[in-house]
Structure 1
Amino acid sequence: MEERQDFMIEEGLHQAVVFKLSHGVPDLKVLRSILPKHLGTKGNCLIGLLAPRQFLLRFDLYEDYVLALSRSVNYILNNGEEYQCKVFPWSIGYNPKEETTLAMV
Structure 2
Amino acid sequence: MAATAGGQPPAEHGEPQVIWDVEEVNQMIVNENLEYVVIRKFSYGWPDIQDLRKLIPKQCELKGECNIDLLSNRHVLIRATLLEDYVHLLSKPVFYITQNNWSFLMRTMKWDPMFNHEEETTIAIAWISFPSLPPNFFGEDAVFSLAAAVGKPP
TM-score by length of 1: 0.92
Aligned-pair identity in percent equals 37
Extract structure 1 runs of 4+ deviating beyond 4 A: none
Residue-pair matches, total: 105
Structure 1 residues 2-41: aligned runs within 5 Å: 2-3=19-20, 6-11=25-30, 12-41=33-62
Q: Distance in 1 between matches of 2:122 and 2:44?
A: 20
Cα displacement (A) at 1:38: 1.2
Query: Which is greater in Rg?
Result: 2
Q: Which runs of 5+ in 1 are unaligned?
A: none
RMSD over aligned CA atoms reads 1.4
Structure 1 residues 76-95: aligned runs within 5 Å: 76-95=97-116
Q: Which runs of 5+ in 2 are unaligned?
A: 2-18, 127-154
Cα displacement (A) at 1:14: 1.4
TM-score by length of 2: 0.64
Q: Distance in 1 between matches of 2:29 and 2:44?
A: 28
Q: Distance in 2 between matches of 1:16 and 1:80?
A: 28
Which residue does the alignment assign to 1:56? Answer: 77
Higher relative contact order (CA 8 A, sep 6+): 1
